[in-house]
Structure 1
Amino acid sequence: MPTPPSHLQQADIARRIPHQGLMCLLDAVTAWDDSHIVCRAGSHRVPDNPLRAQGRLGAACGVEFAAQAMAVHGALLAEREAQAGSAAPRVGYLASVRSVNLHVQRLDTIAADLTVTAERLLGDANHILYHFRLEAGPHLLLEGRVAIVLDAAMLRQAIGSAQVPGESL
């Protein structure tokens, strides 16, 4: 298996995340390393963006752009680990979003491409904490932190038959 590429286009991203078609919001990965990923997106301008409500794309939807960047980052790290003979890739679930600061109300009115940056602050075998930023040119649009839980099935075993947070009934 070859080393994961340093740059990816949308088709490469779609192969690595669960979202397809219009719901794959990122256009490219422009850089990544062990603790960072930088992506580019223009889908916030698309009139049929699936996150739009009443023709508008609220700034809070930027969290989904960031979550997709984190998912790609996790997939790239897992690919590299698999090449080294480590464990298979694990499914991650967004567990919480904190300290979100919205500096704009809408994303669909932003003419420039979005730069989506995620930084892995810490993590262990079951949890990861990321800080994210969405920018357009020199302008910060939103930022916050996201906690990811890996392999929620393991969480279910730990808490018994109770519902796993974020899981549908």
Structure 2
Amino acid sequence: MVPPKLDRAQIAALIPHDGAMCLLDQVVDWQPEVIHCLATSHRAADNPMRLDGRLGVASGIEYAAQAMAVHGALRARRETAAKKGYLTRVQQISFHVDALDACAEPLAIEARLLMGNAQIVRYAFSVSAGGRLLLDGQATVMLEAGLPD
């Protein structure tokens, strides 16, 4: 069975980001170990991640983090109750361009679950546009259940 696509409103209902800070437009496909999303907000003049009128490539980490959050929420629907997550570490980051807003094509975001348990998950992620890799890396997310009281 192919999971249904999700639009921006459905994505915003799953993550703690709303308004302009919800950066993703669509979940194209997802499976228990991977999610593929699209975004066009990198071209928006009112993108809240812009600094001095520019959207630097490091902002792509937030796009990937939101894809991870959506993936976690979708997986939780199948398994258990959703848990808040906090990005605690990014590593092996490679930037292949200077800015995201220079890309005319939609951003394609992939987040692939590498490992996880009730307390922590690790993803490999990539952001590309028009078949060109813009950035990639790995991120670790501490889940609320794993945080000390």
Partner of 1:115: 108
Partner of 2:38: 40
Partner of 1:61: 59
* Structure with max Cα Rg: 1
The TM-score normalised by the length of structure 2 is 0.96
Q: Give distance in 1, aligned partners of 2:60 and 2:87.
A: 14
Q: Give distance in 2, aligned partners of 1:89 and 1:61.
A: 25
Partner of 1:155: 147
Q: Give distance in 2, aligned partners of 1:9 and 1:28.
A: 5
Q: Give distance in 1, aligned partners of 2:60 and 2:32.
A: 23
Partner of 1:75: 73
Q: Look up the SS of the partner of 2:138 in the other structure.
A: strand
Q: Look up the SS of the partner of 2:68 in the other structure.
A: helix
Q: Give distance in 1, aligned partners of 2:49 and 2:70.
A: 19
Q: Give distance in 1, aligned partners of 2:73 and 2:41.
A: 21
Report the count of equivalent residues.
149
Identity of aligned residues (%): 50
Which has a greater percent of strand? Answer: 2
Uncovered stretches (5+) of structure 1, i.e. residues with no partner: 82-86, 158-169
Uncovered stretches (5+) of structure 2, i.e. residues with no partner: none
Give 1:91 deviation, angstroms.
1.0
**Runs in 1 of length 4+ with deviation above 4 angstroms?**
none
Q: Give distance in 2, aligned partners of 1:155 and 1:19.
A: 21
> 1:88 aligned to 54, 78, 81, which one?
81
Residue 112 of structure 1 aligns with an amino acid whose one-letter code is E
Partner of 2:15: 17
CA RMSD of aligned residues (A): 1.5
